Amino acid sequence: MELDGVVFYGRLGHLALQMYGLDGELSRWRGARVLDCPGGPSSLAALLARAGVEVVACDPLYGLSIAELRQRSIADLELSIAKSINSPMLRRGFDLEQVRRHHLEGLEVFLADREAAPERYVAASLPELPFASASFDLVLSGHLLFSYAPLAAGGLMAGAGFDLDWHRRALAELRRVSCSEIRLYPGHTQSMPAEPHPYAEALLAELPTPWRGCFAARRYDQGFSGFTDGLQLWRS
């Protein structure tokens, strides 16, 4: 699949929990400060807030009105589905109608939460975030890094995409605002068969002290390719 820009797409909260490997450990993060960057139109932040997590989500589009967010999200959902239909990345039996239902369900939860708790949703873009250093115990980042690298580098972007230097700066910023742990998903190429993303391998190899990290596989079958792994980083 090829895209010309980053889509404003959001996973249902409980599917995002599985993706990040948080579904079995929510109680561990109750009262902790968690950043979801980028949050997109996902219901993850609303779900975490309801579970007692002090969560902030950020995304460049969070400055839009509720009507604009809904319109952009639905337009990008339809664009993604149209692009996916003939994609060789689509695994056999993958249910695009279910994707649409999940997305629309998550979108309504996101919009209601954004209206009820606007302070939870901050307009911001990597590689520069408006948060103090070490503000968050856990930083989550899904479907931005690696996925929007140029096509030739294993990403989805038909145009320039985010290059390795952008990824270095983005990850340095995520490390700056995290005092403990970062989970990045997915960490594989957008190809069939998917492989560990070369930028992810490069970033892991050059992690500065005291950071350590590894690829972490998840039992999560929502991806087009049915394959999901990511990166888990922590301060040692």
Residues 6+ apart with CB under 8 A from 177: 35, 129, 131, 132, 133, 134, 135, 136, 139
Positive or negative, the Cα torsion across 91, 151, 205, 170?
negative
CB of 236 to ligand SAM, least distance (A): 26
Residues numbered 88 to 147 that lie near ligand SAM (CB under 6 A) are: 125-126, 142-144
Q: Which two tokens stand for residue 128?
A: 């520069």
The residue count for binding ligand SAM (CB under 6 A) is 17
Contact region for ligand SAM (CB under 6 A) — 4-12, 47-55, 200-208, 225-233?
A: 4-12
CB of 226 to ligand SAM, least distance (A): 17
Bridge partner residues of 125 (DSSP): 128
- Count of beta carbons in the 10 Å neighbourhood of residue 124: 21
CB of 218 to ligand SAM, least distance (A): 13
Question: How many CA atoms does the CB half-sphere of 114 hold within 13 Å?
Answer: 28
- By CB under 6 A, name the one of 3, 18, 29, 42 that touches ligand SAM: 42
CB of 193 to ligand SAM, least distance (A): 22
Q: Which residues bind ligand SAM (CB under 6 A)?
A: 6-11, 38, 40, 42, 59-61, 125-126, 142-144
